[in-house]
Homo-oligomer: A and B are copies of this chain.
């Protein structure tokens, strides 16, 4: 159940819903908050909880299965794959964040901001409770 609350989508964002969901699940798995072998909510259940079209959730599950993050077990639903989860070391997980940070760095340079100010703001945001 806690998974249902950990996941959320913003339909207003420019980012496609299916991609928002994939990214979140991928990160939760890499971060260890989704244990290998644990069961994912059913397509219908997750779709309803997020007020999203079931086909969208289904697409997410299928793509994550292709990636090896999830495992489809016939008649049982999806579960988190062994290699999909927390086996990731700190470096691997950091690599998953690199793209986002690169974008932030680019924007900061274009805004001609002091690195120190940027780092201070990020630190503050990292310390906030989720």
- What is the interface of chain A, defined by CB distance below 8 A to chain B? 11, 16-17, 23-24, 27-28, 30-33, 53, 66, 73-75, 90, 93-94, 96-98, 100-115, 117-119, 121-123, 125-128, 130
Beyond A31-B112, A100-B103, 15 additional pairs, beta carbon < 8 A: A17-B74, A27-B107, A27-B111, A93-B112, A94-B113, A94-B117, A94-B121, A96-B111, A100-B104, A100-B107, A101-B121, A104-B122, A115-B123, A115-B127, A119-B119
Interface of A is mostly: helix
Which B residues are CB-close (under 8 A) to A119?
119, 122-123, 126
Nearest 8 CB-CB pairings of A with B: A105-B125, A31-B112, A27-B110, A115-B126, A31-B111, A93-B111, A100-B104, A105-B126
